[in-house]
Structure 1
Amino acid sequence: MKRIALFASGSGSNAEKIAEYFADRPEVEISLILTNNPKAGVIERARRLHIPVLVFDRTTFYGSERIVRLLRKQEIDLVVLAGFMWLIPEALVRAFPNRMLNIHPALLPKYGGKGMYGHFVHEAVVSAGEAESGITIHFVNERYDEGAVVFQTACPLDPTDTPEDVARKVQVLEHRYFPEIVEKVLNQLK
């Protein structure tokens, strides 16, 4: 059995789509959802899906190896960042080399880096007058949004699109492709 741990900071719609995607696949288990936000919507989604949740703080995440030890104890094969906002500490990156995926709501390398998430990305895309946006799924390294790209896909934008319109179009791509790419990467693991 392959085991996945999901990290999320917000509503958790991508985490839920991934969990639903693997629900009928006994060879894959969503073992744990981890969040840095005690008020995150992902917590309620995880409860509904009967997936254990761990809420942690900044000191635990950056000042200890507790998360790494927990993931190893749970024999996690793949770590998936599904809307997780904190930079991943080096110890965690080293513990899961090429076994940690992130999704970014833009076509990297454009609109990536510290502070570029959610509506900030979509506002920047609209302000720049881009003709398209999309998603990038990439491996995680020690810097925001700079890991090797695994998958990208784009959607056309209309000149009248608002940041909210862009967000809706991008989320359709996230929900459609992220679970499939997680499965593809999982199947390539030895």
Structure 2
Amino acid sequence: MKKIAILASGEGTNAERIIRYFEEKEEVSVEIVIASRTTAGVIKRAERLGVPCRVVTSAGFASGEALEVLRGYEVDFIVLAGFLLRIPEDILRVWPCRIVNIHPSLLPKFGGKGMYGMHVHEAVLAAGEKESGITIQYVNERYDEGDYIFQARCEVLPDDTPERLAARVHQLEYRYYPEVIEKLVRQHV
């Protein structure tokens, strides 16, 4: 059994999709969700789905608490799903090429610190882009600069609002992220 940890900071819709996807798989299991905020919606989603959830703040990541939680659950692979903190080097060293993130744009455009959620979709529209999408990438020590694994595209429509564009991008996330994670876990672990 390969064990996954999901790190999230927000509502947890992608985390829920990933947990549900792997409920039906015998060789891969979501063992723990780590939330970076006590108010994150992902906490209730994890509880409802029967997955243990721990809150580890930015101070806890800096002090090594997150590393100890991950080791305690003996995770093989780490998945970021709307996680807003930078991953510390101690975690990057223990899980090289086994930490992935999804970003709501076609990187390298609209990435980096502060570029998340609606900020990305607003920037895409303000720039007059004709397409947007998702990028699944390995995590390194810099925001959104890890090697790309997969990209999927969607059209930016002339009458789009950030919310409408976000809804189409979310559909790409829900469709592709669990499948890509499964392939990576099977090949890297």
- The TM-score with structure 1 as length reference comes to 0.97
C-alpha displacement at 1:70, in angstroms? 2.1
Note the 1:37-186 alignment, pairs <5 A: 37-62=37-62, 64-186=63-185
AA matched with 2:135: T
In 2, Cα distance between equivalents of 1:66 and 1:128: 40
* Equivalent position of 2:8 in the other structure: 8
C-alpha displacement at 1:87, in angstroms? 1.0
Residue 87 of structure 2 aligns to a residue whose secondary structure is coil
Whether the 8 Å CA contact 1:79–1:100 is kept in 2: the answer is: yes
What count of residue pairs does the alignment treat as equivalent? 189
Q: For each residue in 1:124-166, what CA deviation from the matched residue of structure 2 results, as whole angstroms up to 9, or x when unmatched?
A: 0000111110000000000000000000010011111111111
In structure 1, stretches of 5+ residues that fail to align are none
In 2, Cα distance between equivalents of 1:140 and 1:104: 11
Whether the 8 Å CA contact 1:129–1:159 is kept in 2: the answer is: no
C-alpha displacement at 1:58, in angstroms? 2.0
Aligned-CA RMSD value: 0.8
C-alpha displacement at 1:26, in angstroms? 2.1
Q: For each residue in 1:30-86, what CA deviation from the matched residue of structure 2 results, as whole angstroms up to 9, or x when unmatched?
A: 000001110111011001100000001222111x22211221232111100000011
Whether the 8 Å CA contact 2:58–2:85 is kept in 1: the answer is: no
In structure 2, stretches of 5+ residues that fail to align are none
Residue 129 of structure 1 aligns to a residue whose secondary structure is coil
C-alpha displacement at 1:103, in angstroms? 0.3
Poorly superposed stretches of 4+, deviation over 4 Å: none
Residue 125 of structure 1 aligns to a residue whose secondary structure is helix
AA matched with 2:104: P
The percent identity for this pair of structures is 52
